[in-house]
Amino acid sequence: MTQLEDGFGRQFYYLRLSITDVCNFRCTYCLPDGYRPNGRNYFITQAEVARITRAFAALGTQKVRITGGEPTMRKDFTELLRTVADTPGITKVALTTNGYRLAKHAQEWRDAGLTHLNVSVDSLDPKMFHQITGENLFHEVMAGVDAALDAGFEQVKLNSVLLKGLNGKELDQFLDWIKTRPVEMRFIELMQTGEMDQFFERHHMSGEQIKQRMLQQGWQSVLREKDAGPAERFWHPDYAGKLGLIMPYSKDFCAGCNRLRVSAQGKLHLCLFGEGGVELRDLLAADEQQDELIARLQSALQTKRETHYLHQGDAGSTPHLASIGG
């Protein structure tokens, strides 16, 4: 089987698989009014997750990131995690989570096959954390980060969307925090999407400016792996931790695209900011449909466009910021 490749020669080793749209946080940049059911809560099943993962693995995918919503809200989360991890060809299984269940389940999830972990931590100040996330759970989330380190995860990353006038002033505090901790702190540049134009104008911080500041302070680039996410990564000889910057407005951001997305409703999204999606669910009912599923994935990829159009203010059908940390 040939490697998944689009019309621009980009190869795809990385799948972001959403298993729910439900989230219990109310982050200002994502779901400020909280999750609202839209009548389409028939999320993909464990059997459908297995078929999706097998098809992508057959096409060369090596890494699967389980996302949501908040994926750990599913009662069968551990079983879904094990299903992905047990798929031949999948060597990395990652999770993006708000961390509210992590302290209790970190070891269980690692035992089930989870290898990489991203935890959203938008502030190291409990009051600011509450203001941004809508939940007073800072200490519980940080206890989860400690539990993940104790469980021996291969990689633990913290995601933070830096917001001018809110947590943007905490940049130095975040850097001090990773000086003695072997984690990767990742700063995500706020994106302008359909329902938050005014929020973007008030709170956007330039990722490029942060990058130049870090380079001036002696941070050095890390070579990007073929199944890595979009972050530019840096290390510093005086720090135990690393730094990552996700800058969707940077030049050639899409040139190294290597990942695709499947939604909790079973649709393939070629770009986070693309319209609609390619229906897969009609080919997820039985194992015997795998050849058809693979053919549809290969065909759809030929329609992937070269770049997003965020610079023109076009966020596609994306109504709010979805986490793109990977």
23 is in an annotated binding site: yes
Kindly provide the residue ranges of all beta strands, DSSP E only, lying in 115-217, ordered along the sequence: 116-120, 155-161, 184-188
First to last CA, the chain: 26
**What is the rounded CA–CA span in Å between residue 306 and residue 312?**
15
244 is in an annotated binding site: no
Whether cis (ω within 30° of 0) applies to the bond prior to 326 is no
DSSP characters for 200-242? HHHH---HHHHHHHHHHTT-EE-PPPTT--S-EEEE-TT-SSE
152 is in an annotated binding site: no
Report the 10 Å Cβ neighbour count for 26.
15
196 is in an annotated binding site: no
3-state secondary structure of 322: coil
Distances (CA, A) of 309 to 37, 123, 260: 28, 30, 17
- Report how many helices (DSSP H) and strands (DSSP E) the chain contains, helices first: 9, 12
191 is in an annotated binding site: yes
120 is in an annotated binding site: yes
96 is in an annotated binding site: yes
171 is in an annotated binding site: no
For residues 115 and 92, the answer to whether their CB atoms sit within 8 Å is yes
27 is in an annotated binding site: yes
69 is in an annotated binding site: yes
326 is in an annotated binding site: no
263 is in an annotated binding site: no
**What is the rounded CA–CA span in Å between residue 269 and residue 19?**
14
160 is in an annotated binding site: no
261 is in an annotated binding site: yes
29 is in an annotated binding site: yes
What residues form the annotated binding site? 16, 23, 27, 29-30, 65, 69, 96, 120, 157, 191, 254, 257, 259-261, 271
Which residues contribute to the annotated binding site for GTP?
16, 65, 96, 157, 259-261
Annotated binding-site members for S-adenosyl-L-methionine: 29, 69, 120, 191
Binding residues for [4Fe-4S] cluster: 23, 27, 30, 254, 257, 271
